[in-house]
Chains A and B, each alone.
Chain A
Amino acid sequence: MGFMPTISRDEVAHLARLARLDLREDELDHYAEQLDIILASVARVAEVAAADVPATSHPIPLTNVMRADVARVWLTAEEALSGAPASDGRRFRVPRILDEE
């Protein structure tokens, strides 16, 4: 079986854009190659699983783990904002949004 890339360079560029990663052309090539190896490895695992084995999302067979609806104050605004790069009054200050439009 010859080498069949499972992820295209265009797909990597698309994912990078969605993840707000500004990748150079050579980085795109580099990551496309690496991701392809990872996906190929995962694909090998998929070959082992028969069609009647559903994809696993949670390896531990537990369900319905819930907490009671009881409110509790955790942080003050000052504490919450203490690690923020920028704040203004009691709010987080973030760069302008949707600049690209």
Chain B
Amino acid sequence: MTADAVIPFDDAIAAFDPVMGLEVHVELSTASKMFCSCPTEFGAEPNSQVCPVCLGLPGALPAVNAAAIEAAIRIGLALNCSVAEWCRFARKNYFYPDMPKNFQTSQYDEPICFDGYLDVDVPTADGIKKVRIEIERAHMEEDTGKALHVGGSTGRIHGADFSLVDYNRAGIPLIEIVTRPIEGAEQFAPEVARAYVAALREILRSLDVSDVRMEQGSLRCDVNLSLRRTPADPLGTRSETKNVNSLRSVERAVRYEIGRQAALLQAGGKVVQETRHWHEDTGVTTSGRSKEGAEDYRYFPEPDLLPIAPDPAWVEELRATLPENPAVRRARLATEWGLTDFEMDSLINAGALDLVIATVAAGGDQARARKWWTGELTRIANDRGVDVHDLGVTPEHVVRIETLISEGALNDKLARQVIEGVIAGEGDPDAVVASRGLAVVSDDGPLLAAIDEALAANPDVIEKIMGGKQQAAGVIVGAVMKATRGQADAARVRALLFDKLGVVEEA
């Protein structure tokens, strides 16, 4: 396959106005599936969580999961949607072995939630931009099975000899959240797309309805994008890039598609309405199924499921018990913690606010928590190209490490090694401390011995310190830290040194 031509982003934006539509699929974290009682554990043995209903065996009757309906309504309310007084499920008919029934139970023209919006803070080079993303609908459906394509060019659909299917995921409740066309984002379109998905994820996490783990596929984003010459022109033909599975990829995929479509249009070509596949490794999209004719899903009302008519009093009760909107909470915390706009922005940019809040809730200090999450941990996450949420470090771990530091059992350097161990999967902080033998040398004996040794090796230091050059102590402290392989408390070494020399340490 030849690579598509792409023109530089700035040139593309100078010539075209991008319009986006984002479709986000959220897998709900219910205990059972949407229409049957099968469990929903991630990573279970293939086909060990299936039943006659989700296998589409003859005569099986589906039954709606009440918790999924509740989650759908809460999501809709949190996105400022109206909730349907009455709505039905529909069959979306298609033949593809990821759905053994030969249809997917979904909703068609009667989504349970519709007409909402989400206000998003978009971090840009020009500072935070506030953008309102309009939500067209949030509807209920079920996830599909997972197909593994074998033979041919490995892993690709084309040329596969056969496919192996696992239906554990088939029937897991999904909420699909669809935006109206997002116009006016201009050069910030990639950032707007990313910020929207991030904000949505934050809300979903606050609702506790989904794991929202993009790398595990419990939150997936499809990016629809089209270009037009000016905002006055009608919408152009769009491409639909499927399964963009990280925040960074959402931003990159939008940027790439703008460059690709612009190149096509500049060269006098036409954008084809099609599904495109995002390639995380190369950062490009490639052509997939052509949409033409593929959208004939022959929807009709699902006869095996009765309509849903949420009791208005129940809906109001759900509304009243929604958690605080994360954006509102952010403003409140900035005040409570006395943060400057800059500090709050860097916390948001790091995508770590919820982690800091959780760390504070677990008993941590907000300043120290911010330092960990936006400093060391964000740096490690960036180095590894993963989200800071997915490092495997929890707020409780951070609190524990901070406690160990304040007790003098760890110093900063050792604490970083503990974090490394936690990320490497060696267990919780106490387990890492124990297995790696990381502990500050708290016994003064070995420290004094190391100080003597360091003084002997640096005979001029004593004179300097006695002569008032207290900064010379750094040489000795450094040598002791080195001798104890970082397992000494630097402040303690310093104190012991001055004590030994009978010098009062200057503040």
Chain A residues in the interface with B (C-beta under 8 A): 14, 18-20, 57-58, 60, 62-77, 80-81, 83, 88-98, 101
Contact = CB atoms under 8 A, between A and B. Distances in A.
Contacts of B151: 96
B32 interface: yes
Contacts of B307: 57-58, 63
Interface string B63-75: 1111111000000
A95 to B, nearest CB: 6
Interface string B135-168: 0000000000001111110000110111111110
B50 A90 contact: no
B391 interface: no
B30 interface: yes
A80 B100 CA distance: 12
B31 interface: yes
A interface, by DSSP: helix, strand, loop or mixed?
Answer: loop
Contact of A80 (B55, B96, B147, B160): B55
Contact of B50 (A19, A58, A80, A88): A80
A89 B149 CA distance: 14
B31 A81 contact: no
Contact of A66 (B69, B160, B303): B69
A97 B46 CA distance: 20
B39 A73 contact: yes
Contacts of B384: none
A72 to B, nearest CB: 4
Given A93-B164, A95-B162, A66 B66 contact: yes
B157 A98 contact: yes
Contacts of B296: 14, 18
B64 A67 contact: yes
Contacts of A97: 96-97, 147, 149, 157, 160, 163
B463 interface: no
Contacts of A58: 88, 301, 303, 306-307
A96 B162 contact: yes
Contact of A74 (B37, B67, B163): B37
A74 B93 contact: no
A95 B149 CA distance: 10
Contacts of B157: 97-98
| 5 tightest A-B CB contacts, nearest first | A74-B51, A69-B67, A57-B301, A91-B164, A66-B66
Nearest to B86: A63
B61 to A, nearest CB: 11
B272 interface: no
B308 A64 contact: yes
B93 A18 contact: yes
Contact of B308 (A63, A80, A83, A90): A63
A94 B45 contact: no
Contacts of A71: 31-32, 37-40
B488 to A, nearest CB: 52
Contacts of B86: 63
A101 B158 contact: yes
A77 B37 contact: no
B148 A91 contact: yes
Given A90-B166, A91-B166, A92-B167, A66 B48 contact: no
A94 B97 contact: yes
A11 to B, nearest CB: 11
A57 B88 contact: yes
B163 A96 contact: yes
Contacts of B46: 77, 89-91
